[in-house]
Structure 1
Amino acid sequence: MLCNKAIRDRIVQSALKLIIESIFESDFQDGSYGYRPKRKAHEAVNRVAKAAIKGNTKCIDVDLKSYFDNVRHHILMEKIARRINDKEIMHLIKLILKVGGKRGIAQGSPISPLLSNIYLNEVDKMLEKAKEVTKEGKYQRIEYARWAGFCKCISILQDIETLVLFSY
């Protein structure tokens, strides 16, 4: 039987994704939508729209320039190692990361989006914490939705009474 190496690699990555996704999925924040099971882009849009209806009318659009090219392997590996204590799995992930060089995540591989979500989970946690902290401060209403490495943050100052119509 003839087996293409690229096909074999994709099968291994897909299997590895299934294994580690079940571990990390419970760690991900509610505002994270990108490439997650049972979460779609339109749900992120709905979250933002609901925030707008509540009066949260400021929007910040964050684009992580060249994000996939700049992921630091050692930081990602540390994040994964906090939850995965299996040398073979860690070795496979290290090999997958090496394909793209010393930095970055190869785009288009089955496991890349999951690795991206693991790497960005700390950002999501920070945004969730900001929601809690700002409930008692000047910024009363804050919400966010992150999809595929992009983040839409919505907040409003108490003293601003501007209405912005959102359409989607």
Structure 2
Amino acid sequence: MITRVVQPFHLHKALEHVIANKGSAGVDGVSIRELRKVFSEKKLQLIEAIKQGNYQVQPILGIEIPKGNGKTRLLGVPTTTERVLQQAVAQNLAPLFEPEFSNYSYGFRPHKNARQAVGQSRDYIHSGLNHIVDIDLKNFFDEVDHCLLLNLIYKKVKCKATMQLIRKWLRAPIKINGKLQKRRKGVPQGSPLSPLLSNILLHQLDKEMTRRGHKFVRYADDFSIYCKSHNQA
């Protein structure tokens, strides 16, 4: 897989995607405006390091942003160059996992959106499933078990170089207020890979809900089950 990831087509597509998404610079200070030039200069060196297995990841930059409830959410922002590489990996991982994802999973997926999730919820309610259980997956992104996630990915991705790269990104330290902190769990919100990785893990929950015959809607880590009665809920 790693040979596809570093092909010019995939890297160019990933570069344009990252530029279009904008966002702030990471720990190296390279902005989106500077990215095209910097990535062009570094590209061959990066490709060789990745193929040889000695690519060194940069720390992610911790940025706190306010939430609607007055609390803050910690974003982990990779460097702009690293975001291109992560996006290239995501582009190659997605076709392996997307076909198996549940039709009732609507977050961070192609041709799926929040409006469709609301529509499905409305359909459930109109059909008589008007007792709703809202499940709060508290701090999901911060609590993801790396070993469990990597094992799920490895079932479909046997490429050691790709797995090594993903493992390094998951365990990259985070820089908060100028100090580096180790990370042993979680996926950083701010990484192009995180939405796909979260869906890979939460697909296990979707499968269990389907096995039990539950009617549900999931949008990323927001999850609701629709029941006929209070007792069933």
For the superposition of Structure 1 and Structure 2, which TM-score range results when normalised by the shorter chain? 0.7 to 0.9
On the 8 A contact 1:48/1:145 being kept in 2, the answer is yes
User: Which segments of 5 or more consecutive residues in structure 2 lack a partner in the other structure?
Assistant: 1-36, 43-57, 59-78, 174-182
Q: Percent identity?
A: 31
Cα distance, 1:2 vs structure 2:
3.5
Give, as a single letter, the amino acid of the residue that structure 2 aligns with 1:58: H
Q: Judging changes above 3 Å, is the alpha-carbon distance between structure 1 residues 52 and 89 closer, same or farther for their aligned structure 2 residues?
A: same
Larger RCO of the pair (alpha carbons < 8 Å, separation 6+)? 1
Aligned twin of 1:88: 161
Moved over 2 A (4+): 1-5, 157-160
1:118-146 deviation digits (Å, cap 9, x = unpaired)? 01111000111121xxxxxxxxxx41110
Aligned twin of 2:70: none
**2-structure distance, mates of 1:97, 1:114:** 13
Cα distance, 1:40 vs structure 2:
0.3
Give, as a single letter, the amino acid of the residue that structure 2 aligns with 1:121: H
Aligned twin of 2:98: 25
Give, as a single letter, the amino acid of the residue that structure 1 aligns with 2:38: L
**2-structure distance, mates of 1:127, 1:42:** 22
Give, as a single letter, the amino acid of the residue that structure 2 aligns with 1:50: D
RMSD: 1.9
Aligned twin of 1:103: 185
Cα distance, 1:27 vs structure 2:
1.6
Q: Judging changes above 3 Å, is the alpha-carbon distance between structure 1 residues 159 and 103 closer, same or farther for their aligned structure 2 residues?
A: closer
Give, as a single letter, the amino acid of the residue that structure 2 aligns with 1:122: Q
Aligned twin of 2:223: 151
Q: Judging changes above 3 Å, is the alpha-carbon distance between structure 1 residues 158 and 9 closer, same or farther for their aligned structure 2 residues?
A: closer
On the 8 A contact 2:131/2:230 being kept in 1, the answer is no
User: Which segments of 5 or more consecutive residues in structure 1 lack a partner in the other structure?
Assistant: 132-141, 161-168
Aligned twin of 1:134: none
Give, as a single letter, the amino acid of the residue that structure 1 aligns with 2:97: F
**2-structure distance, mates of 1:28, 1:83:** 14
1:19-45 deviation digits (Å, cap 9, x = unpaired)? 001110012111111101110011011
Match of 2:127 among 43, 54, 61: 54
Match of 1:124 among 206, 209, 222: 206
Q: Judging changes above 3 Å, is the alpha-carbon distance between structure 1 residues 158 and 15 closer, same or farther for their aligned structure 2 residues?
A: same
- TM-score, scaled relative to structure 1: 0.84
Aligned twin of 1:164: none
The total of aligned residue pairs comes to: 150
Cα distance, 1:66 vs structure 2:
0.8
Give, as a single letter, the amino acid of the residue that structure 2 aligns with 1:146: R
**2-structure distance, mates of 1:44, 1:128:** 17
Give, as a single letter, the amino acid of the residue that structure 2 aligns with 1:144: F
